[in-house]
Structure 1
Amino acid sequence: MTEGTGDPFHFVRAVTRHALFWPALTLVLLLALDVAHRSDFLKVTVMNGHLFGAPIDILIHASPLIIVSLGMTLVIATRGVDISVGTVVAIAGASAAMLLSDDPARVPTALAACLAVGLLAGAWNGLLVAFVGMQPIIATLILMVAGRGVAQLLTDGQIIPISGTWYLRLGDGYLATVPCSVWIAIAATALTALLVNGTALGLFIRSIGINPVATRLVGLRSAAVVFGVYVFCGVCAALAGVLISSNVRSADGNNAGLLLELDAILAVTLGGTSLAGGRFSLGGTVLGALIIQTLTYTTYSIGVPPEATLVVKAVVVLVVTIIQSAAARDLFLHLIRRGIAAGRVKSVDSVGEAVK
């Protein structure tokens, strides 16, 4: 039977091949597990003028990861990778802490310094990748190592408290009962979507990821696009550094943003973006970040020992990634077909026996 309208599996196949189906299903299953463990898990109430509940906690802690992952999505779509985003988070937080320690009212200056750090870091990575021709993982590894040292120098290896009131509200404040960090993540997602869908930038990024040589031969300034993508990723990481440092009310050059780059890459791949470049999904990236944060919350809430949390996380990510592959989907549908066919044969045999 063909894949036409007469094929009963046509609709199932079309749905399962949608870019957002498996990430959305994974998130729903994780939430269902939480609800099974705690019936009031999804309950959200208003307390002291703002929303309160487990879903809100997940959104608050997922917001920085969403922002970092947006930048990582565009980088990976150009066949690159940026493993220095965790370091940029640490440097941005340390820069803000240094400025606010002298005068807590210098919030605009601190924010400008954070974004400047991200811009410079992204420009450095973009310069090495786009114009020098260095491999992305090597270029960003340089900043990952050196930048962590810079963050430790800025903080003198200590945890520096942050006391700027308006700065702190970005991470733990609320606007219209919704956490400010969530609003910032929504704004960043909307702006990124506008850039890649409302302009030709998205087409340029996909073209570079699919065939960078052909893109260059047709006259597209691919180096400038790649440079801009790394700059954007650096700014996203710096903005995430603002949210993280303001949420914990301190800057830690040693641990801030540690392994965040791995979570960002996982969020991007879980969302359906191809590591080979060319194909990306911002909606999938957001779902991927929510999956990772929900998974972290779930492992703690159901009582998984802390030392086993990373193992459980890795197993879940592995299973989801395998399920997302085309081969796994085809095998799944094939098994369903065989099951239905076997059921029909058994029914026919039963009818035959009854007639006899």
Structure 2
Amino acid sequence: MTCELAFLPVGNADTIVIRADGGSIIIVDLHKIPFLLKWLKNNEANTISRIYITHEHRDHFPSLEDLVTFLDNWLKRGGTIGTLCLPYEVYKEAKKKVAANRTANKRLEDALLRLSQWEQSREIIFIEATRGANPYSQQDLEIHILHPGLLYAQNHLVDIKGKDNEISLVLRVTYGNFAALLLADVEGAGLKQCINICQPKELRANIVKIPHHGAYPKNGDELRQLLEAIDAEIAVLSVGSNNNYGHVVPELFSLLLNLKKDISKRLKQFICTEVTRSCVHSASELTLMGKSGLPKQQLCAGEITILAETSGTWQLKTETNHENVISTLKYPACQGCIDPGVVSI
């Protein structure tokens, strides 16, 4: 039997589906719900055991109204849902918004009522997601929350406005001797906290999902330190070809290439869901582009699926013929072909 981790090509965003032994489904983030529904239909899924929403940003969370529509339709068609982890205080803040103007927020009010009804009927169980809380277990599959800690999350919400990425969930997925680290969008102070609070054995993993779609934080040294501690064999980047943030930034690709060259590290490969501008354009062209991306979506690996065994071995499956795609690119970063004028490696 195997554990399947599917990283769906939903642009500069995350939707990750985990399925072990052909059984129940765990979903991490919900961008482009129709894309997720297509995957669920194609894989004849009917039972969602747990949904983690790592943080409130729209590239991970569709909004409470759209989330409720998805859940409602799923339940009406005979599907089931076990537990749901909502972003921190999103329900509380939505209640405040409705109280301030019920007329303008009628759909949101209806969504909150529906959530409350599901909780009362126990159709869906709502859980808290902080370090050590509510681990998931299904035979050989386990999912643990490594970050944030409860007090860190609460202090952050009181002391800092915005910067939700710093408290986005970091999940450790294990299947026997196999492990994957899903880093959501963790950055800034969250990176430092994650390094400080986690034990080395918690961080080490076969697979790592690179945070924030190929952004490079101001504290890049701490991102490097975290990736070195994880010491993954493969890094997965969920990126969008036409994003307007400059992702994947060359500094991030450079970091990954340097880890690949380090013979003391296990990293052998990194792979992107979509083609990025850094793989297509020269340094001078990128300067003229500002932060704009490519004109349209272009799949690189497309859907990236890791098929893991309890022994710790795993296989990579891609939607596209990945080798053929990268052969058409002028500067395929995964092959070490960054334009020297962009960044040194």
TM-score of the superposed pair, with normalisation by structure 1:
0.23
Structure number with higher relative contact order (C-alpha < 8 Å, ≥ 6 residues apart): 1
Rg: which structure is higher?
1
Q: Which is richer in helix? A: 1
TM-score of the superposed pair, with normalisation by structure 2:
0.23
